[in-house]
């Protein structure tokens, strides 16, 4: 037993996709993607505490509904901790406490952030010094978005989204997220996208859209970024959750520079010109969707990192 070890808390960010180009389905069932991730200031905190047996509790923060989060061994945070233990030859179970701010099944990679935070917390607790690249390699086994949860900031993702190259950005971008109580299954949205395209659909077109996103990020230009945002999954997400079309229109009418579906949805991401205009957009939207469904955030923010190491007792 290792109860003398302190608890470690790590924090990992949610993401928004600034660009999401979806290629044809691969032989392994995944899709080839060209995406640009940005980590935003909506966070998951995972505390790893030495325990007699593996366990997990989840706490809602900021009004998140955590009822859809599995508490058994299928939880991504627990899978991450156990995978790291297995590969490192560690036999020291932990209890994980997840403090969840990211909407569940919302297209913001909350489960992946939990896995990233669990890897970082356990790596510190067990004093493994695996390093970011080693943790990202493990993370890719758990989910395509986990490596980005570890790296954070802004990055181009290729492959199934796990191969990352950082993108130069200037300043901060200000977002309003409109949460949707429904939740959408990511595999269902990809399947709907495939169905709508039909068989024989080719690879993503050359990367004019990627260049436009990169140029806007380099210049710190929110208006140019707004014009360059795009998401190949948006149509499929709106087909499965028709209320999204109204939410996107409401966001634009409220003064956002652009409104896009975040990842596979159903969260809608509104890009605004400044922190002050994000507040103005929120004020416009409160009567339309209700305060409880609105979050402001900025990006880019760092990837998973240790917050604190508490002394026992
Ligand atoms: P992505 O954007 O990466 O596709 P998402 O943000 O849409 O993901 P998540 O909140 O990550 O969705 O969760 C998707 C599903 O994964 C949940 O419905 C749940 O069944 C399962 N899951 C496993 N572990 C977790 C976790 N720690 N937190 C949330 N969901 C989890």
pLDDT in tens, 232-279: 999 999 999 999 999 999 999 999 999 999 999 999 999 999 999 999
Residue whose structure tokens are 């990020």:
217
Interval 109-139: pLDDT, tens: 999 999 999 999 999 999 999 999 999 999 9
**Which residues have a Cβ under 8 Å from the Cβ of 209 and sit 6 or more positions away?**
19, 21, 228, 230
**Number of Cβ within a 10 Å radius of residue 203:** 10
Q: Give pLDDT, residue 309.
A: 53
Residue 67, Cβ density class (10 Å: 0-12 exposed, 13-18 middle, ≥19 buried): exposed
φ and ψ at residue 55, rounded to 5 degrees:
-160, 170
Interval 47-82: pLDDT, tens: 999 999 999 999 999 777 898 899 999 999 999 999
CA 159 to each of CA 21, 76, 279, 307: distance values in angstroms, whole numbers, following the listed order: 11, 21, 36, 31
Assigned architecture for domain 7-166: 2-Layer Sandwich (3.30)
Greatest CA separation for the chain: 61
Q: Give pLDDT, residue 313.
A: 41
Q: Give pLDDT, residue 2.
A: 46
How is the chain split into domains, by residue range? Answer: 7-166, 173-299
Please confirm, yes or no, whether 15 is among the known catalytic residues: yes
Shortest-distance Cα residue to atom 29 of ligand 1: 111
CATH code of 173-299, in short, is: 3.30.70.890
Shortest-distance Cα residue to atom 25 of ligand 1: 111
49 Cβ closer than 6 Å to some ligand 1 atom = no
């Amino acid at each position: 037993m290792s109860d003398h070890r302190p608890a470690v808390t790590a924090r990992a960010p949610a993401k928004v996709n600034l660009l999401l180009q979806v290629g044809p389905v691969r032989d392994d069932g995944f899709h080839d993607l060209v995406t640009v991730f940005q980590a935003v200031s909506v966070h998951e905190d995972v505390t790893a505490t030495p325990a007699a047996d593996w366990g997990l509790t989840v706490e809602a923060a900021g009004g998140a509904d955590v009822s859809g989060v599995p508490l058994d061994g299928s939880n991504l945070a627990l899978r991450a901790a156990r995978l790291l233990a297995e590969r490192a030859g560690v036999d020291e179970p932990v209890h994980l406490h997840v403090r969840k701010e990211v909407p569940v099944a919302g297209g913001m990679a909350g489960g992946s952030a939990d896995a990233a935070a669990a890897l970082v917390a356990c790596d510190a607790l067990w004093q493994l010094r695996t390093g970011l690249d080693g943790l990202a390699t493990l993370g890719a086994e758990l989910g395509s978005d986990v490596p980005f949860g570890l790296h954070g900031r802004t990055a181009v993702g290729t492959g199934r989204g796990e191969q990352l190259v950082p993108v130069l950005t200037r300043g901060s971008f200000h977002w309003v997220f409109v949460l949707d109580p429904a939740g959408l299954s990511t595999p269902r949205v990809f399947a709907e996208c495939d169905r709508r395209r039909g068989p024989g659909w080719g690879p993503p077109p050359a990367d004019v859209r990627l260049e436009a996103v990169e140029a806007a990020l380099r210049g710190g230009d929110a208006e140019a970024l707004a014009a360059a945002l795009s998401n190949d999954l948006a149509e499929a997400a709106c087909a499965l959750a028709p209320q999204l079309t109204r939410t996107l229109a409401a966001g634009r009418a409220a003064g956002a520079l652009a409104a896009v579906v975040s990842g596979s949805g159903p969260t809608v991401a509104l890009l605004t010109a400044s922190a002050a205009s994000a507040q103005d957009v929120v004020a416009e939207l409160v009567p339309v969707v209700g305060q409880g469904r609105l979050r402001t955030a900025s990006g880019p923010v760092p990837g998973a990192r240790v917050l604190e190491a508490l002394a026992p007792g």
